Amino acid sequence: MRIAVPDLISNSYFPAIAAVELGFMKEQGVDAELGLLFPVPKMMEALRDGALDFVAGSAHATLLAFPEWRGAKLLMALAQRTYWLLVLRSDLRAQRGNLAAVKGLRIGAAPGVDLSLKRLLIEAGIDPVRDGVQIAPVPGATGTGTSFGLTAAKALEDGKIDGFWANAMGAELAVRKGVGSVVLDVRRGDGPPSAGHHTFPALVTTEKQITHNPESVASVMRAVRKAQTVLKGDPNRATEAARRRFPAAETELIADLIRRDLPYYDAAISQEVVGKMNSFAEAAGLLSAPVPYEEVVAVKFSNLWE
């Protein structure tokens, strides 16, 4: 089974990575091939075109390749809530929660991921055009093998951008180097309340896969669910899971990041969460009208969330 993530050196989709690297896929009889495919729109297109069997990515981004949710389903949450952080240059001395600090700045955000930041700013009363907020891809973040958070932290250090909207690994690197400070951590309540439910990291597959290989779908889900459970029991297993994939410095950081995320390691996808995500998708122009929960989520596998 071909599984991809849009950002490998991060905490964002780590249960899927750990399911492969800790051998839980193999335990379930799944021969899993894990790859990195950046940015998320390209990854979703590869899923649509049959080049991938499963992806671990932003739930809302499924709509970039599967309009109106036709042809794909969310299988389970890898974690709950919107999981990106807004980091600005430390010399700006922006206070935590002060979104007005972004006015006139260059903010790096990955394609597809940028939709959440743009909507968050609007919800906070900031018009990116009127207030001169330039939201664009990070310089150097090109190619299918890009790890965005690392690239964003380096671009901030080099003065190519004034801030970025990215994962906790990128944020941690920027903070530890003294070049950035966290202005918003949406997952933990910063910013407009609605922003916390724009999206969440999810395991996604096609309706075709569900129809033709339901046992394989269930096996992959069991492996990822076990990874969540094992990491909650011992976050230090994250270091073991990262060792073959991550650079040395990031390998040393991952267990701490995963430990922070453990309260959000719940595989369930509720109707309320889907409704709020779809409201964001409509506002962002990804969805034309509300879509029933059962057309978004593969409810036949919901028993595997426990």
Q: What is the rounded distance in angstroms from the CA atom of residue 305 to the CA atom of residue 289?
A: 28
The total number of structural domains that make up the chain = 2
Range of the domain at 156: 85-196
94 secondary structure, DSSP code: P
**pLDDT truncated to tens, each residue of the chain (306 aa)?**
999 999 999 999 999 999 999 999 999 999 999 999 999 999 999 999 999 999 999 999 999 999 999 999 999 999 999 999 999 999 999 999 999 999 999 999 999 999 999 999 999 999 999 999 999 999 887 777 788 889 999 999 999 999 999 999 999 999 999 999 999 999 999 999 999 999 999 999 999 999 999 999 999 999 999 999 999 999 999 999 999 999 999 999 999 999 999 999 999 999 999 999 999 999 999 999 999 999 999 999 999 999
- The pLDDT score that the predictor gives to residue 141 is 79
Q: Which of 152, 181, 196 is the last residue of a domain?
A: 196
Residue where one domain finishes, among candidates 142, 169, 196:
196
Buried b (16+ CB within 10 A) or exposed e, 14-42: bbbbbbbbbebbeebebebebbbbbbbbb
Residues 204, 276 within the same domain: yes
pLDDT attached to residue 136? 96
CA distance 163 to 86: 7
CATH number for the domain harbouring residue 231: 3.40.190.10
Do residues 147 and 6 make contact, with C-beta atoms less than 8 angstroms apart? Answer: no
Maximum Cα–Cα distance across the chain: 55
Among the candidates 196, 229, 245, a domain finishes at 196
CA distance 81 to 52: 25
Same-domain pairing of 269 and 231: yes
Based on the fold, state whether residues 173 and 27 are members of the same structural domain.
no
Residue 143 is predicted with a pLDDT of 73
Q: What is the dihedral of CA 76, 188, 135, 254, to 10 degrees?
A: -70
70 and 212 share one domain: yes
What would the two tokens of residue 96 be?
A: 């935590």
115 with 244, same domain? no
- Say if residue 45 is in the same domain as residue 179: no
> Does 230 lie in the same domain as 151?
no
97 lies in the same domain as 133: yes
Percentages (nearest 5) of helix, strand, coil residues in the chain? 50, 15, 35
For residues 142 and 173, what is the distance between their CA atoms, to the nearest angstrom?
20
The pLDDT of residue 230 is: 98
Beta-strand relationship, 106-109 and 134-136: parallel
